[in-house]
Amino acid sequence: MSASVSARADAVLMSTYRRAPVVFVRGAGSWLYDDAGKAYLDCLCGVSVCSVGHANPRVARAVSEQLGTLVHVSNLFYTLPQVELAERLVALSGLDRVFFANCGATANETAIKLARRWGQQGERRRHGVISLDGSFHGRTLATLAATGQPEKQATFQPLPPGFSQVAPEDLEALAAAIEPTTVAVLLETVQGEGGVRPLGERYLQGVRRLCDERELLLIVDDVQAGTGRCGRWFSWQDLGFVPDIATTAKALGGGLPIGACLARDAVAAAFRPGDHATTFGGGPAICRGALAVIEEIEQRALLANCAARGAELRAALERVPGVSAVRGRGLLLGAVLERPCAEALVARALELGLVVNNVRPEVVRFAPPLSITVDEVAEAARRFAGALAAVAS
Ligand SMILES: *Cc1c(COP(=O)(O)O)cnc(C)c1O
């Protein structure tokens, strides 16, 4: 890496990130290239963002054309790409209405505000949101309050009130935590940042039943697990339940920032004009990009590829000495290591030309493009095994 870039970055950027010593200059499909021309197999893809591959030609073409036509007019007016994208998301999700935000956190803020707005109807005036230990919902103050990781919250107190957490996979604990002021349960079907921990199907269906019994909204944060990552358009779609509100973001824009909050009609109806807004959300260029992402997934049958390559990657990682288990769904997988050496392993993997990241001291996350090939899966497992052997010795 050219040391001057990191020195310049250190001089002018806030030090919020621990960055690896690489300057990427170019990408193509599943591959990234640094400023020395070295190739890396990208099994993280911007943390589940570049799901249709780097520099995807269909997305690049769609966005470029729109950039030369109309980029922004605000939400005071109609634009066709936003309407078309909403129509697609409604059809793909089975939910009824969409609000476009700018990222995962602002999509979740929208979900929380919608739940509160819904809860203010009638006599009960409810606002409380229950989420799960180990969850991750974003870095804004409200989504941080919903995030079940006390170490991330500690230095930003006081956080907005109205949020509490319970242990996952424990329906009794959830039932006991419901207060008269509770309006919603918020969860990820696979806790991504929390260590790639999938929640059980029966637990999720139990949460749905509990929400129905207690008249609570069920919000699924599909920011990381959605847009095909788990082999379905939305992660809940083969888990036997449907949420009232769902958010998605990361992969939706093919690398450009976008978030979406979807809801059932009866819930979405709680929002009235003036209740919520964004300047940039749902702009024409980004919506054209997202439409191209959806088209790419359909045309190349990437949901099926995700399921097939996901099964292959899981099996290959399970065979690597030093890996005790592999968990997750589709192409959102966590390799659980016998020893807590994930940080060193990820650094070593990078040297060997494999991009992955550590979400726990003993868990390495894989979230490659949904377009990853059979050969690339085998190559990823080979490089990972090499890195783990090097770190272990
Ligand atoms: C990444 C993530 C977020 C936050 O998204 P940003 O785009 O970084 O704001 C929220 N929820 C989940 C599950 C995520 O993985």
Say which of 42, 221, 222, 244 is annotated catalytic. Answer: 221
Told to judge if 250 belongs to the known catalytic residues of this protein, a careful annotator would answer: yes
pLDDT at 3 over 90: no
- Give 224 Cα–ligand 1 centroid separation in angstroms: 7
Q: Give me the residue label for tokens 């009235």.
A: 272
Told to judge if 133 belongs to the known catalytic residues of this protein, a careful annotator would answer: no
pLDDT for 210-249, tens place per residue? Answer: 999 999 999 999 999 999 999 999 999 999 999 999 999 9
Does the bond joining 368 to the residue before it have cis omega, within 30 degrees of 0?
no
Residue 393 — pLDDT band, cuts 50, 70, 90?
A: confident
Residue 337, both tokens: 């290591």
- Give 226 Cα–ligand 1 centroid separation in angstroms: 11
pLDDT for 58-70, tens place per residue? Answer: 999 999 999 999 9
Nearest-CA neighbor of 354 among 5, 17, 32? 32
Query: Atom of ligand 1 at shortest distance to CA of 191?
Result: 13
pLDDT for 77-103, tens place per residue? Answer: 999 999 999 999 999 999 999 999 999
Residue 123 — pLDDT band, cuts 50, 70, 90?
A: confident
Residues with CB under 6 A from ligand 1: 103-105, 108, 136-138, 188, 192-193, 221, 223-224, 249-250
**H-assigned helices in 120-277:** 141-146, 150-153, 171-177, 201-213, 265-268
Please, what is the angle between helix 57-67 and helix 284-299, to 10°?
160
CA distance 362 to 360: 5
pTM of the complete model beyond 0.85: yes
Q: Is 275 helix (H, G, I), strand (E, B) or coil?
A: coil
pLDDT at 1 over 90: no
Q: Is 62 helix (H, G, I), strand (E, B) or coil?
A: helix
Indicate if the alpha-carbon torsion angle 205, 206, 211, 213 is positive or negative: positive
pLDDT at 283 over 90: yes
How many CA atoms, within 13 angstroms, populate the side-chain half-sphere of residue 115?
33
Say which of 34, 42, 99, 136 is annotated catalytic. Answer: 136
Nearest-CA neighbor of 48 among 361, 356, 382? 356
CB 354 within 8 A of CB 40: yes
Query: Atom of ligand 1 at shortest distance to CA of 106?
Result: 9
E-strand ranges in the chain read 24-28, 31-34, 39-42, 97-101, 128-132, 163-166, 182-187, 190-191, 197-198, 217-221, 245-248, 259-263, 323-329, 332-337, 354-355, 357-360, 363-366
pLDDT of residue 174: 98
Q: Is 1 helix (H, G, I), strand (E, B) or coil?
A: coil
pLDDT at 204 over 80: yes
pLDDT of residue 219: 99
Q: Is 211 helix (H, G, I), strand (E, B) or coil?
A: helix
CB 376 within 8 A of CB 368: yes
Residue 2 — pLDDT band, cuts 50, 70, 90?
A: low
Counting beta carbons within 10 angstroms of the beta carbon of residue 219, is it exposed (0 to 12), middle (13 to 18) or buried (19 or more)?
A: buried
pLDDT for 166-186, tens place per residue? Answer: 999 999 999 999 999 999 999
CB 184 within 8 A of CB 218: yes
Say which of 163, 250, 271, 384 is annotated catalytic. Answer: 250
Round the average pLDDT of the chain to a whole number and report it.
97
**Greatest Cα-to-Cα distance within the chain, rounded to the nearest angstrom:** 65
Strands 323-329, 332-337: parallel, antiparallel or unpaired by DSSP? antiparallel
pLDDT for 331-340, tens place per residue? Answer: 999 999 999 9
Residue 273, both tokens: 């004009």
- Give 281 Cα–ligand 1 centroid separation in angstroms: 16
Told to judge if 366 belongs to the known catalytic residues of this protein, a careful annotator would answer: no
pLDDT for 346-391, tens place per residue? Answer: 999 999 999 999 999 999 999 999 999 999 999 999 999 999 999 9
Query: Atom of ligand 1 at shortest distance to CA of 188?
Result: 13
pLDDT of residue 122: 75
